[in-house]
Amino acid sequence: MARSAADFRCDICVVGGGPAGAVAAHVLAGAGARVALIVRDRRNAALAVGETVPAETQPILKRLGLDCLSPDLHVPSAGTMARWGSDTIHFREAILSPYGCGWHLDRHLFERQLRAAAVKNGAALLENCARIVTKATPKGWKFRIESADRQLDVTSSYLFDGTGRAARLAIAAGARRQVHDKLIAIWSVVEALNGRHDPDQRIYLETAPDGWLYSAQIPNRRRVIAYFTDGDLVDLSRTRSAAAFEKYIANSFQLSSVTDGLHYRVVTGPFRVNAASTRLAQAYGGRWIAAGDAAQSFDPLSSQGILSAIVGGNNAAAALIAAHSSDSSALEKLQADLDARYAEYLAERQVHYRAEQRWKQRLFWQRRHDNLPTEPQASLAGLLASASPL
The domain that holds 156 is classified in CATH as 3.50.50.60
Residues 6+ apart with CB under 8 A from 259: 198, 200, 215, 223
Peptide bond into 199 cis (omega under 30): no
Domain boundary among 229, 251, 274: 274
Q: What is the pLDDT of residue 380?
A: 30
Q: Which of 320, 342, 364 is the last residue of a domain?
A: 342
**Do residue 157 and residue 191 come from a single domain?**
no
- pLDDT number for residue 375: 38
Phi-psi map region of 263: left, alpha, beta (phi>0 left; psi -120 to 50 alpha): left
More confident residue, 260 or 348: 348
The answer on 131 and 261 residing in a single domain is no
Q: For residue 378, what pLDDT is reported?
A: 33
Residues 37 and 146 placed together within one structural domain of the fold = yes
For residues 35 and 8, the answer to whether their CB atoms sit within 8 Å is: no
Q: Are residues 252 and 306 in the same domain?
A: no
* Residue 354 belongs to some domain of the structure: no
Within-domain flag for 136: yes
The answer, as to whether pTM is greater than 0.85, is yes
Higher pLDDT, 196 or 280: 280
For residue range 5-16, what is the model confidence (pLDDT) as tens digits?
Answer: 447 899 999 999
**What's 306-317 look like in SS3?**
HHHHHHHHHHHH
Q: What is the 3-state secondary structure (H, E, C) of 51-78?
A: CEECCCHHHHHHHCCCCCCCCCCCEEEC
Q: What is the pLDDT of residue 3?
A: 44
Q: Domain containing 117: what range? A: 8-180+277-342
More confident residue, 283 or 131: 283
The reported pLDDT for the residue numbered 6 is 46
324 and 261 in a common domain:
no
CB 287 within 8 A of CB 275: no
The pLDDT of residue 260: 61
Is 2 inside a domain boundary?
A: no
Residues 143-190 have pLDDT tens digits of 888 877 778 889 999 999 999 998 999 999 999 999 999 999 999 988
Maximum alpha-carbon separation in the chain: 65
Domain containing residue 190: CATH number: 3.30.9.10
> What pLDDT digit, counting tens, does each position of 265-296 carry?
888 889 998 999 999 999 999 899 999 999 99
When divided into structural domains, the chain yields a total of: 2
Instruction: Dihedral sign for Cα 342, 344, 349, 350, please.
Output: positive
On whether both 115 and 195 belong to a single domain, the answer is no
Q: Mark whether 191 and 154 lie in a shared domain.
A: no
pLDDT at 314: 97
Examine residue 366 and state whether it is found in any structural domain, yes or no. no
Residue 368 lies in a domain: no
**Domain annotation covers residue 233:** yes
What is the tally of helices (H) and strands (E) in the chain? 9, 21
- Residue 124 has phi, psi (to 5 degrees) of -90, 125
Q: Both 298 and 267 in a single domain?
A: no
Q: How many Å apart are CA 308 and CA 162, to the nearest integer?
A: 13
Residues 190, 57 share a domain = no
Q: Specify if 301 maps to a domain.
A: yes
Mark whether 294 and 173 lie in a shared domain. yes
Same domain (yes/no): 116, 215:
no
Q: Verify that 221 and 267 share a domain, yes or no.
A: yes
